[in-house]
Chains A and B, each alone.
Chain A
Amino acid sequence: MECPKCGSVVQVGDRFCEECGAALTVDNTKAGCIKCGAAPVAIDAEGYCSECGFRNKPRDNDHIEVACLPNFGGVSDKGLRHHRNEDYFALHYVEDRNTYILVVCDGVSSSLEPDKASKVAAESACMALLVERGDIKPESALKIAIAAALESVCAIPYTSSADADPPSTTIVAAVVQDRTATIGWLGDSRAYWISPDGSRQLTRDDSWLEEMVASGKMTEAEAIKSSNAHAITRWLGADAGENAEPTIVSFDIPGAGYLLLCSDGLWNYAPSSEELANLVLQMSDVDAVTVSRRLVEFARSHGGHDNITVILLSTVARTPPS
């Protein structure tokens, strides 16, 4: 991320540029309308200008980078074809429990307010995992966290419409403690294990394609041609009903490698764990956020048709400071 005034590199979350001292927090109420130049008082609480009507967007999620630790970070980007980023992620390292929390959500674009759905889901799942003091099993903690995410997605106000579903999002969340990763998900956002000693996909999409192939009704080659191929069968949303029950798996981390969580904006361009491993292992000497950014750039260079989100926890480079 760059300072808008002097162009020096600044970290997400910084309030002032260390080089030039410019304030980095955008305050629309003081800026006036970017479209017609109307006075700041003309902008209403949601950013609409009372003169020209255009919206001054309150906050820009188009590109987010978070570098939590050198071995732990993530990037989300709106890609090239969508007009906004409907993905969101949250990550957190809990020092006293030596626990990593990773969450990726991909708002369902046919639903209402998908950007809000992914944001509140990721934030409330992460929050729920944070407040669990570690006295329950990670499986149970994940279930509670995903239930909390569901609750906050259902609480998003929206104007009902016959043509669109209530706010909905996918979710994939992981808790890494000691050498065990526990992963829960709904929808087609994925988790992978990437390692020179063997890589694998840890999640199984809740998608129409996956169901067809699993039930033996179609081969993958047949199913992928259908317009339904990408339709998801489970999600978080008011209309998910009993389908909002996540699948939870546990994975023993065998050694040095990367736990990668991503939205379909990335894996559409490299679906197999081998393809992803090829990309990641080429650049194993850099920070997790840099690897994430390069994966986002890879997806953008292949079309960037969807929003792209990648978060990465490396067990290769360094161990976290204790």
Chain B
Amino acid sequence: MSTQFKAEVFQNQYLPQGAKEVHAIMTVTAEGSEGVAGTHTGGSLFGVICDTSGSMGGQKIYAAKEAMVKVVNLLPDDCAFFIVTGSSSARVIFPVSIATPQNKERACGVIKAGLDAHGGTVISTWLTEALQQFNKMAGAVRQALLLTDGQNDVSDEQQLNTVLQACEGVFQCDCRGVGTDWRVKQLQQISHKLLGTTDIIPNASMIEADFRAILEKAMSKSISDVALRLWTPQSARVLFCKQVSPDIVELTHRGKLVKPQVNDYPTGAWGKSESRDFHFCIEVQPGNVGDEMLAGRASLIYTVNGVETKVAEARILVTWTDDDAKSTKIDKRVAHYTGQAELAQNIQEGLEARAQGNIEVATAKLGKAVKIAHNSGNESTAKLLRTVVDIVDAETGTVRIKKSVAKEDEMALESRSTKTSRIPKSS
């Protein structure tokens, strides 16, 4: 394996007497060696899941077909792919095949010839078909792209949950919604469970560029099924564990107990040059002044053919002290990401309040969000916020809710609110 991982922990290890909550940020960086190809022995499998329900008719289905043809042609020759289309039921229009020039040509023919938009939207059936395809190549890096434009059928809710359970850990899935008739929360439910992202494609002409970006990212992944393994002392509790960069992914309740005191949290596939930050909050049994404790040991683990390999490890330490100068310091990375989580929460709550017509709460929440985004240098979120509020003073978070907001702007803010910034270099 040519990918090297490096883990580093940032924290203030000093706690005052009696304190029991330990915070730490771990930065994990994967660095690929140059010139080594085919690092993943099992290859990669990329699945396209495309909505062909009635609402996709006209320009959308035309653009989606064009985009799929482009994506198929961009696939590296040594990877495998499949295509599933879905409406009230799903159909494998092209089963798992290696992306040879002949197969690509055949796939493009099928896409162009056989896609009509009709019927409803029952996403559980699409995922079920995709799952069967992915099961054919268990050793590969397995990633999917799901494109839809509408809301899932209300009767499918329970079935979707069951299918998501089955898909979890088998493949990752990025979700894209075209237009503004789909629901952010619904797609996020899928992408969160399947360790992917959700985003809006405001109009059909943008599908191609977005697909291209997703494929590029998918093809950069060289190691799949990486778990974040966290050891904690007996009697300790993990209050939370989340990825905080590049975006916030709540992992706390997704831990699997490996053995006593050890949990594995899923992080999916990693690319050759990728860096992510994680925030741990662990409650430990408090010690006496002068005591030192190992409050956590975090490592990254991947499994190939049943053999576990540990690729990086970092320790979270605590020292209890009566020196206030030491214990009152807050590590600046911990502070930064605590702020970024607050930013995402204020956006979610602000948008909800706005949707319910509670302008007072919406103004307060979104104002707070503007202030945090401004102070933490999160430019991209600040920009999205400007589409829903008029900023009077970013420093104090004084804003006015815009009277009319384009639906796609609001949805873009909602889907991207969990994007975080890293700590600015200058501070």
Contact = CB atoms under 8 A, between A and B. Distances in A.
A15 interface: no
A163 B293 contact: no
Contacts of B332: 162-163
A68 B261 CA distance: 49
Nearest to A44: B294
Contact of B233 (A53, A81, A159, A163): A53
B344 to A, nearest CB: 24
A52 B234 contact: yes
Contacts of B295: 53
Nearest to B284: A53
Contact of B291 (A51, A54, A81): A54
A48 B235 CA distance: 15
A57 B292 contact: yes
B10 A83 contact: no
B313 to A, nearest CB: 12
A203 to B, nearest CB: 27
B53 interface: no
B289 interface: yes
A48 B291 CA distance: 11
Given A52-B233, A52-B234, A54-B293, A163 B331 contact: yes
B276 to A, nearest CB: 19
A151 B294 CA distance: 30
B290 interface: yes
A47 to B, nearest CB: 8
Interface range, B side: 20 to 34
A84 interface: yes
Contacts of A35: 291
A162 B329 CA distance: 12
Interface in A50-88: 50-55, 57, 81-84
Nearest to A82: B323
Nearest to A78: B290
A55 B291 contact: yes
Contact of B292 (A54, A81, A82): A54
A163 B289 CA distance: 21
B8 A159 contact: yes
B378 interface: no
B294 A55 contact: yes
Of listed B12, B261, B292, B331, residue having the most chain A CB within 10 A: B292
Contacts of A49: 233, 294
Interface string B230-248: 0111111000000000000
Interface string A192-227: 000000000000000000000000000000000000
Interface string A136-172: 0000000000000000000000010111000000000
Contacts of B285: 52
A83 B293 contact: no
Nearest to A84: B290
Given A53-B284, A54-B292, A163 B319 contact: no
A35 B414 CA distance: 49
B284 A83 contact: no
A53 B331 CA distance: 22
Contacts of A52: 233-235, 285, 293
B330 to A, nearest CB: 9
Interface in B1-33: 8-10, 12
B262 to A, nearest CB: 10
A36 interface: yes
Of listed A35, A81, A82, A83, residue having the most chain B CB within 10 A: A83
Interface string B168-206: 000000000000000000000000000000000000000
Contacts of B236: 53
A159 B292 contact: no
Contacts of B8: 159
A84 B320 CA distance: 11
Nearest to A163: B329
Given A49-B294, A52-B293, A55-B291, 13 more contacts: A48-B293, A49-B233, A51-B261, A53-B232, A54-B287, A54-B291, A54-B293, A54-B294, A82-B323, A83-B320, A161-B10, A162-B10, A163-B332
Interface of B: 8-10, 12, 231-236, 261, 284-285, 287, 289-295, 319-323, 329, 331-332
Pairs of residues from A and B, 4 with the lowest C-beta to C-beta distance, nearest first: A53-B233, A83-B290, A55-B292, A48-B294
Interface of A: 35-36, 48-55, 57, 81-84, 159, 161-163
16 contacts: A36-B234, A48-B293, A51-B234, A53-B233, A53-B236, A53-B294, A54-B233, A54-B291, A55-B291, A55-B292, A55-B293, A57-B292, A83-B290, A83-B321, A83-B322, A163-B331
